[in-house]
Structure 1
Amino acid sequence: MQGKVTWVDELTFVGEAGSGNSVVMEGGRKNNGIRPMEMILLGVGGCASYDVVSILQKSRQEVISCHCELNGERPDETPSPFTRIEMKFVVRGRKVKETQVKRAVELSADKYCSASIMLKNAGVEIVHSYRIEEV
């Protein structure tokens, strides 16, 4: 995996992944890009969401939509790494079985999501929950 981050001006940067996709990052002064720590939070949510949806699809659950609500806690001092991340998956579908959602979330947390496992191994407390909404 490769990437490149290029300074644009002031505290604005463009990150380009090896895939060719890019994102604007900014330190928060102008608010014209995502902050790097926000990218980490969204990255872990995206990684886990990919797992959950994929596992539910493979178990033939009729999922209409899924989103992951994230809350990251950081201390006020510098450096301020995440100390705790709460992830709440909201799965909407038809007759989606709770046992399958629980299993998908657990498999993502314990086996598949490289991002959350990496953060957990670095000492970040990661808490998972879910809610199912019948359509």
Structure 2
Amino acid sequence: MQVKVKWIDGVSFVGESETGHAVVLDGAPENGGRNIGMRPMEMLLIGMGSCTAFDVVTILKKARQPIVDCVAEISAERADTIPKVFTKIHVHFVVTGEGLNESQVERAVKLSAEKYCSASIMLQKACEITHDFAIQAPSFE
């Protein structure tokens, strides 16, 4: 896998993937940024969250669970001193579907955390990562 990160100006960059997608990253204004893109550490959490959510959705679909939505809400704590690495990450899944089997959702979250999600398994080597989930019925508003 290869990516390219190109400096725009100040502390703004464009990241490009080998698959042809691009994203703008920027620093906080107090660090010389213009607030035109995500912070790099936000991007890291989003990457991990999307990786684990991908697994959960895929595992539940393979188990023929009636999933209609999955949201990974991620909170993280960082060290107070530089380098301000993540010290704790918590992933809360909100899985939506009528008649979802709780043990299947629990299994999907556990399999992602322990076997499939490359991003979270890699980050677990550096900080504590916890997971939980809630199941909700679809709303028909």
Q: Report the TM-score range of the alignment, normalised by the length of the smaller protein.
A: over 0.9
Counterparts of 2:43 and 2:77, CA distance in 1: 14
Counterpart AA for 1:15: G
Deviation at 1:36, TM superposition (A): 0.4
**Which has the larger share of strand?**
1
Residue identity opposite 1:19 in structure 2 = T
Q: Does 1:92 align with 2:92?
A: no
How far 1:75 moved relative to its partner?
1.5
**1:21 maps to amino acid:** H
In structure 2, give the amino acid aligned to 1:2.
Q
1:129 partnered with 2:132: yes
- Counterparts of residues 95-110 of structure 1 (less than 5 Å): 95-110=99-114
For structure 1, the residue ranges without an aligned partner over 5 or more in a row are none
The aligned runs of 1:23-62 (5 Å cut-off) are 23-29=23-29, 30-62=34-66
1:112 and 2:90 matched:
no
| CA RMSD, Structure 1 to Structure 2 (Å) | 0.7
TM-score, with structure 2 as normaliser: 0.93
State the 1:77 CA deviation.
1.0
Between the aligned partners of 1:120 and 1:64, the Cα distance in structure 2 is 29
Runs ≥4 residues deviating over 6 A:
none
Corresponding residue number in structure 2 for 1:4? 4
Offset at residue 31 of structure 1 (A): 1.3
Match of 1:21 in 2: 21
Q: Secondary structure at the match of 2:56?
A: helix
Unaligned runs of 5+ in 2: none
Give the % identical residues: 51
The one-letter code of the counterpart of 2:3 is: G
Q: Which amino acid in 2 is paired with 1:132?
A: I
The number of residues matched between the two structures is 134
Q: Secondary structure at the match of 1:16?
A: strand
Report the alpha carbon displacement of residue 128 of structure 1 after superposing the two structures with TM. Answer: 0.1
